[in-house]
Amino acid sequence: MFLQHWLNWFASLTPRELLWVLFPILVMDAPRYALGTFAVWLCDFCEYLWNALLGREETRRFDHQPRCCAIVAGLNEADSLGQTLDSLAGAYPNLQIVVVDDGSTDGMSEVASRFARSHPNTTVVRKPDRGGKSSALNAALPFTDAEILICVDSDSHLGEGAIWEIVQPFVDPRVAAVSGTVLVRKPFVNLLTWVQALEYYRCIFLGRMFTSRLGILGIVSGAFGAYRREAILQVGAWDVGPGEDGDLTLRLRRAGYDIAFAPYAQCFTNPVQQMGRLSKQRRRWEWAVITLECRKHVEMANPFRADFRLSNFVMIVDRWLYSIVLQYMFLGYVIWMAFNPHEYMLHQFLTFYLAYLLMEILQLMILLFYCDERKRVLAIGAVFPLMPLYYVWMRFVTIWAITEELITRRSYKDNFVPEHVRNVTWHW
């Protein structure tokens, strides 16, 4: 009965009324997350058709072979470190590996030492006291002189050919860092891990493909990213404050370098399995928008600076718009709807839901075009009917995070960085 009423209501809408109903979606999500990736796909699909007509066969080439060092830094990751190191063994010619134990108490360094005994190109650095991830990554620098430094989380493992993929963009001397694709290792543990698996494909694989094409990629995944050693030493390596991966990326951009994305350089990690922990993780990620783009690196948007770049300006404005302005617009819209109920409110919500479903289907179809493992993508993509509800929850988590960081500088109280370190860090 309700569906019939909705169909009658929907059919009665004039084009102008329908546009008004869908206006929040058309403003907040469609341009960035649907139309943007569709435009990228359309360009690639046309190129694919053209090459097919000419009989050209496209293959990914691995011609660039710089000297590389994989840095694996972690705290109390003895259980997962072995799988990480095994995925690195033999993954690239003469790959140097530096494992940094950041004050672990679970025998992580012993696991690394056992691996090093059978892999002579491996160095184990054990820090007696925890200093945080930035400190651990910086501690590895004296133990390698490799041209490219590849950071891999100690609870992740690399896919086949991942290192070969991630080093290819460095053939361009303007590229200082390359982000790999982080995907969920075991997507079907529960419903929460399942929706995260599709989210990672959508936001990391497709989302970063879109921003990198525009030249506005502003993040290199902390779980799997590669850096030109010369460039990161030039900007002072990793800062000890929160959001170290995003901060280093922005400092490299400010120094005039480009940031690239390697979609098929894939790393698999464990997703969060509880809603409370997931909310905390995402809050920590979103704090960086205020800490970095609104405070520490806000001058990237200043057109009167000598180091001003239009791409940096667009990147900053993009972050302000989609991570702050439109989030508060969403909150304002929800509050307005709550205080202005009307007869067709449920019909309007159903329309929103169906519009988001159409965008999810579009994203899934684009994923199938790009991804090598289509059966895996289809299995993960089957959860798409829940994604609109999941993203509404994530919006409220984002609003919570940016509000508390604006008011309290919450990121500088988080235990992700040890207290003795964050107390002496400049609080932007």
pLDDT of 357-408, one tens digit each? Answer: 999 999 999 999 999 899 999 999 999 999 999 999 999 999 999 999 999 9
Q: Is residue 106 part of a domain?
A: no
pLDDT at 147 over 90: yes
Beta bridge partners of 116: none
Nearest-angstrom CA–CA distance, 204 and 271: 14
Mean pLDDT across the stretch 210-239? 95
Two structure tokens written together for 258: 């480009």
Q: Is residue 391 part of a domain?
A: yes
Sign of CA dihedral 35, 402, 321, 340: positive
Tell me the pLDDT band of 423, cut-offs 50, 70 and 90: confident
Beta carbons within 10 angstroms of residue 51's beta carbon: 12
Nearest-angstrom CA–CA distance, 240 and 422: 8
Nearest-angstrom CA–CA distance, 165 and 159: 10
Q: Is residue 398 part of a domain?
A: yes
Contacts for 317 with CB less than 8 Å, ≥ 6 apart: 301
- For residue 56, the model assigns a pLDDT of 82
Please, what is the average pLDDT of the chain? 93
Contacts for 152 with CB less than 8 Å, ≥ 6 apart: 70, 71, 72, 84, 88, 158, 223, 224, 267
Tell me the pLDDT band of 175, cut-offs 50, 70 and 90: very high
Distances (CA, A) of 69 to 123, 146, 285, 369, 374: 10, 6, 27, 33, 32
- For residue 387, the model assigns a pLDDT of 96
Mean pLDDT across the stretch 247-252? 96
Tell me the pLDDT band of 282, cut-offs 50, 70 and 90: very high
Distances (CA, A) of 80 to 108, 137, 221, 320: 9, 18, 19, 37
- For residue 398, the model assigns a pLDDT of 97
- For residue 417, the model assigns a pLDDT of 84
Mean pLDDT across the stretch 101-129? 94
Is the pLDDT higher at 16 or at 68?
A: 68
Specify whether the CB–CB gap between 266 and 166 falls below 8 A.
no
Q: Is residue 120 part of a domain?
A: no
Number of structural domains (the chain) is 1
Q: Which residues constitute the domain of residue 42?
A: 1-59+159-428
Q: Is residue 83 part of a domain?
A: no
Mean pLDDT across the stretch 115-132? 94
Mean pLDDT across the stretch 333-347? 90
Mean pLDDT across the stretch 326-334? 93
The closest of 285, 289, 279, 278 to 324, measured between CA atoms, is 289
Mean pLDDT across the stretch 292-314? 94
- For residue 63, the model assigns a pLDDT of 92
Contacts for 247 with CB less than 8 Å, ≥ 6 apart: 238, 239, 241, 288, 292, 296, 297
Q: Is residue 92 part of a domain?
A: no
Q: How is residue 321 annotated by DSSP? A: I
Beta-sheet strand order (sheet of 96-102): 122-127, 96-102, 68-74, 148-153, 224-228, 175-184, 258-269, 156-158
How many CA atoms does the CB half-sphere of 55 hold within 13 Å? Answer: 0
pLDDT at 16 over 80: yes
Rg of the chain on CA atoms, in Å: 23
Q: Is residue 114 part of a domain?
A: no
- For residue 122, the model assigns a pLDDT of 96
pLDDT at 139 over 80: yes
Could you tell me what percent of the chain has a pLDDT over 70? 100
Phi, psi at 346, each rounded to 5°: -65, -35
Phi, psi at 71, each rounded to 5°: -105, 120
Nearest-angstrom CA–CA distance, 248 and 319: 16
Mean pLDDT across the stretch 107-112? 94
- For residue 425, the model assigns a pLDDT of 82
pLDDT at 185 over 90: yes
- For residue 301, the model assigns a pLDDT of 94
Two structure tokens written together for 8: 């009658």
Is the pLDDT higher at 428 or at 210?
A: 210
